[in-house]
């Protein structure tokens, strides 16, 4: 039995340390309440504390601070130290380990545990069997104590207890005035407590307590350092030796902090490796010692290693979290761009290398590739949605605007007369329309160009491929002790996921571009303003079975979803079905920009097909890429044909009635029309064949189908018909002032006034208000179209699309001939009718025949009148469209000859005088207009002489032969006398014969 157990048994007067019931002699019955109060108080003093022995035993082993005292019952009254000295605790542990050793301590721990369990069980049985007695005894003791302390007065409410041990200690110090002293309230100031039961009054130490505390404090102040100096010296000496030995280890933590601030990652890895080696050495030392107690130096090494490694690990973990964040977020700039610290491609490899050097659980290569995949996926969606909203907003603004005026349309269609669309693309349409075309071009460039998203996707696959093949990992570290070597290879499942992810990115780009061309205009663009989903967590290892996308936050669109332009009004326009066609755009800007867009589509599709998971896949993706090119091309051709047809209907606005600077007998209309048609054909050829696209080995740009070629072929012929019809309309109807109202001009005959006006107008301007002028210029333009422009356009079409327009060319020539004949007849009919009327009235007049036996020596006045009307016609034609002079005068000569024939037929009998008069009239007309004589005119003149011969007798015929020399002299005299009047009919040195006989209807 130990001294501790014997003390407990003596105090409680027990015979055994494990009683099972309450001793009868110690029983306190209910009748004890009637006993003598003095006896009760004496008993209470004797049993003041049933655990006083425990308290004495405990207090005997306590270390009191200098100046502390014990009371008679072993309860400490003086203030102990608040907290033990950490250094002293460490020294005590060291001495204890030296003295006892680990086996002795473990054996003592087992004995103490068994003893506590045994005593706890006995005490539990004792308390449970006498619980009610304990409660009654406790209540009695509490009542007596309260009565003695407060003499029947209720105690004052206690103040709020301090919230902590330190607060309680501070309140004690504040109440006492200084540490280790206490000021008690005197009995005179508090009469109620004069005889109260308190420690100070009971034990009688109140008077000497304060001086003792002061002496103790002074003694501690004087002798404390001397008494503890040697022990501290040994401790400090040991610590100094340890510090000198492990000086570098003490500085590791600060060095790592400095490296992080300076971004000196190479030195950082070296310091981390140094700390890791020190920790591993301490770990091996612990394993080597086993149950052997360590020396003081070894113990310091173990504790130092644990502390340093703990701090380094915390700092490195924070640093690795920052590196992870940078690695995942490093996607804002293309890796092709150069930065201050090298390009981002090198930066992310550097970050991956740092993580591998420091050691990580997750595979940084996989996380980088996955985050890159997530970034590209969200960038495709965000770019597509944003651009399509911007395009649709601009498209709606154009659609809700007014239709362009004819003057505006004409200014754009004329812009290519002396230059191509490539030379001056901004003039081929309005600024708003060109802006929208440019917006579409930028959108597809961002999606499909090598500098855009497609370039990033291709680069992403190249990076993935380099990691799959292992070439990219050659420059990466394997980490401390090779622990990061496992991250150098991607798993088979991860490789398959990356291949599928690459195909998915390409499919997203393809779908976005295809919907841009194939879908109609967006009806509800507010749906594209929905908030993005929150960013989910990335997979933690390369063993993830799928590429889970993570959404990135992008800036909100610059449009107010609550204040968007209204949808396009439905006017029945062809462009209302196409989201990619700017409203009111003409075919010139359409072929120019759509050719550029399809080059991007064709080149992008070919580039996507070169990615090995696509080109070597199951073929479905390749077919979808072919569908992208074919579908986009078909939609573009359909939209351009509709705009081309509309422009052909408006081609008449190209006529400005100003002479061509190259050919004075034409207006600028043929050149403008030829340039317009040529530009459309050239652009259509680029669109159908996408010839400028950079095509790879995969044939994703198929040749144009026959359906599209036939569509363009038909539209080309249709536009020619509509353009020619517009030209005829221009000739027959004139624009009046600024109102765009068409009014019929009833002019028909050439008059002296109109002729003077036509000849006096400036060189580049014509009198467009004169119908005859418009007719002549249009006829001249049609002649140029028939001879030059249309054949050149036909040849260009055949060369561009490798087809022969045999039937179409014949049809076009026939149509041109019909239109030319129609306009020619429309122009010459008034002059022809006028000449016919003059001739008919003159010949059938009763005054026409000469008197009997009178030889005629003058032609009749109707001949001069008819020839003078032809002079006016000649002047008008030669000054307006000189190339038509011969054709017009020849035709009118034929009409005059026909009318002479018909009129002479109506006179059945001719005397010699009448026969001579008729011969003078016919010959004068024929000789005056001899340079415009045609075979038809000569034939009809011969028929006139035959008709005259039928109406005379042989005597007159014989006499006429004898009169012929005199008649020739008269005719010569008449010709010489009218030379100045009819000088315009004089034969030129280089006769201007009609290019072909006048067309007949």
Indicate if the pLDDT at residue 514 is higher than 90.
yes
The 3-state secondary structure of 14-30, one letter per residue? CCCCCCCCCCHHHCCCH
Predicted confidence at residue 146, as pLDDT, reads 74
Residue 798 structure tokens: 């055949």
pLDDT category at 903 given cuts 50, 70, 90 is very high
Q: Is 364 exposed, middle or buried (0-12, 13-18, 19+ CB in 10 A)?
A: buried
Residues 6+ apart with CB under 8 A from 365: 352, 467, 473, 487, 488, 490, 542
Residue 549 three-state SS: coil
Indicate if the pLDDT at residue 472 is higher than 50.
yes
Residues 6+ apart with CB under 8 A from 293: 97, 98, 101, 102
Identify the residue with better confidence: 149 or 539. Answer: 149
Residues 6+ apart with CB under 8 A from 271: 252, 255, 256, 259
Q: What is d(CA 189, CA 211) in angstroms, rounded to the nearest whole number?
A: 22
Q: What is d(CA 436, CA 986) in angstroms, rounded to the nearest whole number?
A: 61
Identify the residue with better confidence: 685 or 304. Answer: 685
pLDDT-wise least confident of 553-567, 616-630, 660-674: 553-567
Q: What is d(CA 711, CA 741) in angstroms, rounded to the nearest whole number?
A: 34
**pTM passes above 0.85:** no
Residue 643 main-chain phi, psi, to 5 deg: -70, -35
Contact (Cβ atoms closer than 8 angstroms) between residue 965 and residue 959 = no
How does pLDDT run across 187-209, given as a tens digit for each residue?
444 444 445 555 555 555 666 77
Neighbours of 985 (CB within 10 A): 20
How does pLDDT run across 395-449, given as a tens digit for each residue?
999 999 888 888 888 888 887 655 555 555 668 889 999 999 999 999 999 999 9
Long-range contacts of 616-624 (CB under 8 A, 24+ apart): 617/503, 621/503, 621/506, 621/507, 622/698, 622/700, 624/507, 624/510
Contact (Cβ atoms closer than 8 angstroms) between residue 685 and residue 800 = yes
Residue indicated by tokens 């008269």: 970
Predicted confidence at residue 749, as pLDDT, reads 55
Segment holding 917, helix H or strand E: helix 912-928
Contact (Cβ atoms closer than 8 angstroms) between residue 497 and residue 547 = yes
Identify the residue with better confidence: 220 or 804. Answer: 804
pLDDT-wise least confident of 40-49, 148-157, 571-580: 40-49
- Give me the helix-helix angle, 620-649 and 492-518, nearest 10°: 10
- Give me the helix-helix angle, 131-150 and 102-129, nearest 10°: 90
**Average pLDDT estimate for 797-816:** 90
Residue 115 three-state SS: helix
- Could you give the C-alpha distances from 914 to 386, 454, 706, 711, in angstroms and in order? 95, 96, 73, 68
Q: What is d(CA 802, CA 815) in angstroms, rounded to the nearest whole number?
A: 24
Contact (Cβ atoms closer than 8 angstroms) between residue 210 and residue 218 = no
Contact (Cβ atoms closer than 8 angstroms) between residue 668 and residue 417 = yes
Residue 92 structure tokens: 């005590």
**Average pLDDT estimate for 244-257:** 80
Indicate if the pLDDT at residue 163 is higher than 50.
no
How does pLDDT run across 726-737, given as a tens digit for each residue?
888 888 886 554
pLDDT category at 45 given cuts 50, 70, 90 is very low
How does pLDDT run across 68-112, given as a tens digit for each residue?
444 444 333 333 334 444 445 445 555 655 565 667 767 777 888
Q: What is d(CA 354, CA 335) in angstroms, rounded to the nearest whole number?
A: 19
Q: What is d(CA 901, CA 943) in angstroms, rounded to the nearest whole number?
A: 7
Segment holding 511, helix H or strand E: helix 492-518
> What is the separation of C-alpha 211 from the centre of its chain, rounded to a whole number of angstroms?
86
Q: Is 148 exposed, middle or buried (0-12, 13-18, 19+ CB in 10 A)?
A: middle
Residues 6+ apart with CB under 8 A from 905: 947
Contact (Cβ atoms closer than 8 angstroms) between residue 479 and residue 355 = no
Contact (Cβ atoms closer than 8 angstroms) between residue 934 and residue 993 = no
Residue 918 structure tokens: 């008729």
Residue 147 structure tokens: 């009565």
Q: What is d(CA 326, CA 394) in angstroms, rounded to the nearest whole number?
A: 38
Predicted confidence at residue 422, as pLDDT, reads 57
Q: What is d(CA 628, CA 703) in angstroms, rounded to the nearest whole number?
A: 13
| Cα atoms found within 13 Å of the Cα of residue 229, Cβ hemisphere only | 7
Residue 658 main-chain phi, psi, to 5 deg: -120, 140
What are the helix (H) ranges across 101-205?
102-129, 131-150, 165-176, 199-203
Residue 659 three-state SS: strand
DSSP string, 642-679: HHHHHHHHTGGGG---BB-SS-TTSBSHHHHHHHHHHH
Q: Which of 226, 224, 218 is nearest to 181 (CA)?
A: 218
| Cα atoms found within 13 Å of the Cα of residue 629, Cβ hemisphere only | 31
| Cα atoms found within 13 Å of the Cα of residue 802, Cβ hemisphere only | 6
- Could you give the C-alpha distances from 850 to 4, 79, 855, 905, 998, in angstroms and in order? 182, 170, 8, 18, 37
* Distance, first Cα to last Cα, the chain: 150
Contact (Cβ atoms closer than 8 angstroms) between residue 446 and residue 411 = no
Q: Where in 161-296 does DSSP place strands (E)?
A: none
Task: Enter the DSSP assignment of 664.
Answer: T
Residue 744 main-chain phi, psi, to 5 deg: -80, 130
Residue 837 φ/ψ region, left for φ over 0, alpha for ψ in the -120 to 50 degree band, beta for the rest? alpha
Q: What is d(CA 645, CA 874) in angstroms, rounded to the nearest whole number?
A: 39
| Cα atoms found within 13 Å of the Cα of residue 540, Cβ hemisphere only | 2
Residue 336 three-state SS: coil
Residue 716 structure tokens: 């080309």
């Amino acid at each position: 039995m130990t001294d501790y157990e014997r003390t407990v048994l003596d105090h409680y007067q027990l015979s055994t340390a494990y009683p099972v019931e309450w001793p009868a002699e110690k029983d306190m019955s209910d009748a004890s309440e009637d006993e003598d109060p003095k006896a009760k108080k004496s008993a209470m003093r004797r049993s003041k504390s049933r655990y006083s022995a425990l308290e004495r035993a405990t207090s005997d082993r306590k270390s009191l601070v200098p100046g502390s005292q014990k009371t008679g019952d072993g309860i400490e009254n003086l203030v102990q130290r608040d907290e033990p000295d950490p250094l002293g605790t460490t020294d005590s542990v060291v001495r204890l380990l030296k003295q006892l050793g680990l086996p002795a301590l473990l054996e003592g721990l087992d004995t103490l545990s068994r003893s506590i369990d045994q005593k706890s069980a006995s005490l539990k049985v004792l308390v449970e069997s006498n619980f009610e007695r304990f409660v009654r005894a406790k209540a009695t003791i509490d009542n007596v104590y309260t009565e003695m302390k407060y003499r029947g007065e209720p105690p004052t409410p206690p103040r709020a207890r301090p919230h902590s041990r330190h607060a309680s200690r501070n309140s004690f110090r504040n109440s006492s005035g200084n540490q280790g002293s206490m000021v008690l309230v005197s009995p005179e100031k508090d009469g109620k407590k004069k005889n109260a039961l308190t420690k100070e009054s009971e034990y009688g130490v109140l008077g000497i307590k304060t001086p003792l505390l002061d002496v103790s404090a002074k003694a501690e102040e004087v002798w404390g350092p001397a008494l503890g100096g040697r022990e501290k010296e040994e401790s400090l000496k040991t610590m100094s030796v340890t510090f000198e030995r492990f000086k570098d280890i003490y500085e590791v933590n600060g060095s790592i902090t400095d490296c992080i601030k300076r971004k000196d990652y190479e030195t950082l890895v070296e310091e981390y490796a140094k700390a890791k080696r020190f920790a591993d050495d301490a770990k091996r030392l612990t394993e080597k010692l086993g149950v052997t107690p360590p020396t003081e130096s070894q113990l310091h090494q173990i504790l130092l290693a644990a502390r340093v490694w703990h701090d380094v690990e915390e700092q490195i973990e924070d640093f690795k979290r920052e590196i992870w964040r940078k690695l995942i977020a490093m996607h804002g700039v293309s890796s092709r761009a150069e930065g201050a610290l090298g390009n981002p491609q090198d930066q992310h490899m550097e970050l991956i290398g740092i993580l591998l050097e420091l050691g990580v659980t997750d595979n940084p290569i996989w996380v980088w590739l996955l985050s890159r995949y997530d970034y590209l996926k969200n960038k495709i969606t965000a770019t597509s949605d944003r651009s399509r909203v911007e395009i649709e907003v601009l498209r709606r603004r154009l659609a809700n605007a007014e239709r362009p005026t004819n003057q505006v349309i004409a200014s754009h269609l004329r812009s290519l007369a002396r230059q191509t669309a490539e030379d001056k693309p901004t003039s081929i349409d309005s600024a708003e329309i060109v802006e929208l075309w440019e917006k579409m071009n930028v959108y597809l460039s961002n999606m499909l160009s090598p500098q855009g998203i497609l370039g990033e996707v291709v680069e992403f696959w190249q990076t993935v491929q380099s990691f799959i093949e292992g070439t990219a990992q050659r420059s990466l570290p394997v980490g401390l002790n090779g622990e990061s070597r496992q991250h150098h290879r991607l798993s088979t499942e991860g490789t398959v996921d990356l291949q599928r992810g690459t195909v998915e990115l390409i499919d997203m780009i393809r779908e976005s571009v295809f919907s841009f061309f194939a879908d109609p205009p967006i009806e509800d663009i507010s749906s594209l303003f929905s908030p993005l989903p929150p960013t989910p967590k990335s997979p933690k290892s390369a063993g993830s079975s799928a590429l889970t996308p993570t959404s990135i936050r992008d800036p909100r669109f610059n449009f107010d979803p609550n204040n968007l332009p209204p949808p396009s009004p439905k006017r029945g326009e062809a462009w209302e079905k196409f989201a990619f066609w700017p409203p009111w755009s003409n075919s010139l800007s359409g072929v120019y920009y759509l050719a550029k867009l399809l080059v991007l589509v064709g080149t992008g599709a070919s580039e996507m097909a070169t990615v090995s998971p696509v080109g070597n896949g199951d073929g479905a993706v390749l077919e979808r890429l072919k569908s992208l090119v074919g579908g986009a091309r078909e939609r573009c051709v359909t939209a351009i044909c509709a705009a081309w047809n509309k422009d052909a209907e408006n081609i008449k606005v190209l006529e400005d009635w100003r002479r061509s600077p190259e050919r004075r007998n034409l207006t600028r209309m043929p050149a403008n029309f030829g340039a317009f048609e040529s530009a459309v054909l050239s652009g259509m050829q680029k669109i159908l064949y996408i010839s400028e696209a950079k095509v790879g080995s995969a044939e994703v740009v198929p040749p144009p189908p026959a359906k599209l070629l036939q569509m363009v072929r038909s539209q080309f012929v249709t536009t020619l018909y509509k353009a020619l019809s517009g030209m005829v309309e221009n000739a027959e109807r004139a624009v009046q002032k600024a109102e765009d109202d068409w009014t019929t001009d009833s002019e028909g005959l050439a008059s002296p006034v109109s002729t003077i006006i036509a000849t006096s107008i400036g060189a580049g301007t014509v009198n467009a208000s004169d119908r005859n002028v418009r007719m002549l210029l249009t006829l001249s333009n049609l002649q140029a179209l028939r001879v030059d422009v249309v054949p050149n356009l036909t040849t260009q079409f055949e060369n561009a699309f490798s087809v022969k327009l045999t039937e179409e060319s014949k049809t076009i020539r026939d149509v041109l001939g019909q239109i030319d004949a129609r306009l020619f007849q429309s122009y010459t009919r008034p002059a022809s009718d006028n000449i016919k009327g003059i001739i008919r009235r003159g010949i059938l007049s009763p005054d026409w025949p000469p008197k009997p036996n009178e030889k005629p020596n003058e032609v009749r006045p109707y001949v001069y009148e008819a020839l003078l009307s032809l002079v006016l016609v000649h002047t008008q034609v030669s000054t307006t469209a000189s190339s038509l002079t011969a054709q017009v005068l020849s035709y009118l000569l034929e009409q005059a000859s026909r009318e002479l024939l018909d009129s002479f037929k109506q006179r059945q009998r001719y005397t010699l005088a009448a026969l001579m008069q008729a011969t003078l009239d016919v010959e004068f007309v024929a000789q005056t207009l001899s340079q415009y004589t045609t075979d038809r005119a000569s034939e009809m003149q011969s028929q006139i002489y035959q008709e005259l011969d039928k109406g005379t007798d042989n005597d007159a015929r014989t006499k006429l032969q004898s009169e012929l020399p005199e008649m020739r002299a008269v005719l010569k005299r008449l010709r010489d006398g009218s030379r100045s009047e009819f000088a315009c009919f004089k034969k030129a040195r280089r006769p201007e014969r009609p290019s072909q006989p006048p067309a007949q209807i």
